Amino acid sequence: MPYAAFRSIGAYVPSGVLTNHDLEKMVDTSDEWITKRTGIKTRRIAAKDEKTSDMGTKAAEVALKRAGLKADDIDLLVCATISPDYFCMPSTASVIASNLGIKGAMAFDISAACTGFIYVLSIAKAFIESGMKKNALIIGAEKLSAITDYTDRGTCILFGDGAGAAVITSTENKDEAIIDVHTASDGDYADLLMTPNGGSGSVHDDLDKEKAGCYMKMKGNETFKIAVKTLTQDVRDILEANNIHSDEIDHFVPHQANYRIIKAVGDALKLKDEQVVLTVSKYGNTSGASIPMAINEIYEEGKLKKGELMLLDAFGGGLTWGSALVPFAPFS
Ligand code: UT7
């Protein structure tokens, strides 16, 4: 039976920086409040003409190069995004495939908000283990600044832009295989975090973003409480199901939504600070891009070594959530 191995990581971080002090001039907030309640200090913002696909392409180029694979080798490309280049089509994945010169591969987007990267990881694993595909390029890319209402202090302090990508390939070696991926959802809570209109459910005739409500709306505190409870349980479940103790985890790489959520889950699992990967202060919440951007961070700092075990977890709009146990398995 073929297994799926996590071979490489790449990321792209746009150059624009939005600080808490910048936000103080835009909405009724303060650096102190944002820092205390979220842990965020800065977020990166893409240029006006920089699309989600541009960022995804750059992250993917790095991941492909580090894996030593060429465009021709890729037979599956999946992009997790809630801020696609185009409202309906083409998919951001198709645009990225074209940018990279990938011809003929299956390419599509998925919409699972902040859990997007866990979802695309599970898709790559399933296609590879079934034998249908051999080399997958998975991407989380977001230009959340395009769907953020910068007059709403409940959301605009949280979100940023960026992209991350990983190459997952088929292997016969079980030791390097992705151990498990959990994915789940509960649409009963859809209204907690949503872009209420602008789609086929919209009651508006025009697509003026403000009127059509294409911006994100969030019931932050309710989402926060469900996130902590659900993630703590989900992470306990995946560890228990695979008979792995939390001290065997080399890197806990959570979705970077809020430092307090990460801390609560980390404490519940008795994880040590050095096991927990944190990028939230620098990049804020980049939804589907946040986990691969965080993995890339430890890779570039030289902290992620071959054979080390990562525990990933994420929670987001849908509601969706998931977790994964992933050994880092570069070719060399
Ligand atoms: O990534 C996908 C999933 N998303 C999440 O998991 C995010 C979950 N939510 C959160 O991270 C937090 O709920 C927030 C950071 C959004 C808000 O933090 P909170 O501790 O839950 O605050 P709150 O919404 O309960 O608001 C507390 C107070 C309120 O004032 P009153 O009613 O106590 O007078 C808010 O109006 O803080 C006020 N407030 C602010 N004050 C200054 C809300 N936003 C701000 C702000 N600056 N930006």
Q: Is the pLDDT of residue 132 over 80?
A: yes
Residue 227 has pLDDT above 80, yes or no: yes
pTM, to two decimals: 0.96
pLDDT for the residue 1: 87
Residue 307, burial from CB neighbour count under 10 angstroms (0-12, 13-18, 19+): exposed
Residue to probe by mutation, ligand 1, list 224, 225, 291, most atoms within 8 Å of CB = 224
Find how far residue 90's CA is from the centre of its chain. Answer: 21
Q: What is the pLDDT of residues 233-270, one digit of tens each?
A: 999 999 999 999 999 999 999 999 999 999 999 999 99
Average pLDDT value for residue range 171-189: 97
- 88 C-beta neighbours (distance < 10 Å), count: 8
Least Cα distance to 171 among 330, 9, 10 occurs for 330
CA of 321 to the centre of ligand 1 (A): 21
Of 93-97, 185-189, 207-211, the range with the lowest mean pLDDT is 207-211
Torsional class of 288: left (φ above 0), alpha (ψ -120 to 50), beta (otherwise): alpha
Q: Which of 79, 114, 156, 214 is catalytic?
A: 114
Domain encompassing residue 144: 1-332
**Residue 271 corresponds to which tokens in the numbers above?**
């994880």
Q: Which residues contact 11 (CB under 8 A, 6 or more apart)?
A: 59, 62, 162, 163, 164, 165, 289, 292, 293, 296, 297
What was the pLDDT predicted at 203? 58
Contact present, 332 and 176 (Cβ < 8 Å)? no
User: What is the per-residue pLDDT across 19-64, written as a single tens digit (0 to 9) for each?
Assistant: 999 999 999 999 999 999 999 999 999 999 999 999 999 999 999 9
- Across residues 100-114, what is the average pLDDT? 97
The protein residue with its alpha carbon nearest to ligand 1, atom 6, reads 224
267-320 pLDDT tens trace: 999 999 999 999 999 999 999 999 999 999 999 999 999 999 999 999 999 999
Has 114 been annotated as catalytic? yes
**Ligand 1 centroid to 253 CA: how many Å?**
23
In this prediction, residue 196 carries a pLDDT of 83
Task: Inform me whether the pLDDT recorded for 209 exceeds 80.
Answer: no
Instruction: Give the residue whose CA is nearest to atom 14 of ligand 1.
Output: 220
Q: CA 312 to CA 328: how far, in whole Å?
A: 12
pLDDT band for position 213 (cuts 50, 70, 90): low
The domain tally of the chain equals: 1
Distances (CA, A) of 74 to 135, 306, 329: 5, 22, 18
CB 39 within 8 A of CB 258: yes
**Residue 285 known to be catalytic:** yes
Determine the Cα–Cα distance for residues 276 and 289; give it in Å rounded to an integer.
18
Nearest CA to 60 out of 95, 7, 12 is that of 12
Number of Cβ atoms within 10 Å of the Cβ of 239: 19
| pLDDT given for residue 207 in this prediction | 55
pLDDT of residue 197: 73
The closest of 164, 150, 21 to 79, measured between CA atoms, is 164
Amino acid 290 reads S
**Average pLDDT along the chain:** 95
Please say if the pLDDT value at position 160 is more than 70. Answer: yes
Report how far ligand 1's centroid is from the alpha carbon of 54 (Å).
Answer: 32
- Predicted pLDDT at 204: 54
Residue scoring higher pLDDT (65 or 201): 65
Expressed in angstroms and rounded, the spacing between residue 67 Cα and the centre of ligand 1 is 40
User: Residues near ligand 1 with C-beta < 6 Å?
Assistant: 29, 33, 37-38, 114, 153-154, 157, 193, 220-221, 223-224, 227, 257-258, 261, 285, 315-316
Domain CATH number, residue 114: 3.40.47.10
Position 212 scores a pLDDT of: 52
**What are residue 78's DSSP bridge partners?**
108, 138
Q: How far is the CA of 217 from the centre of ligand 1 (A)?
A: 12
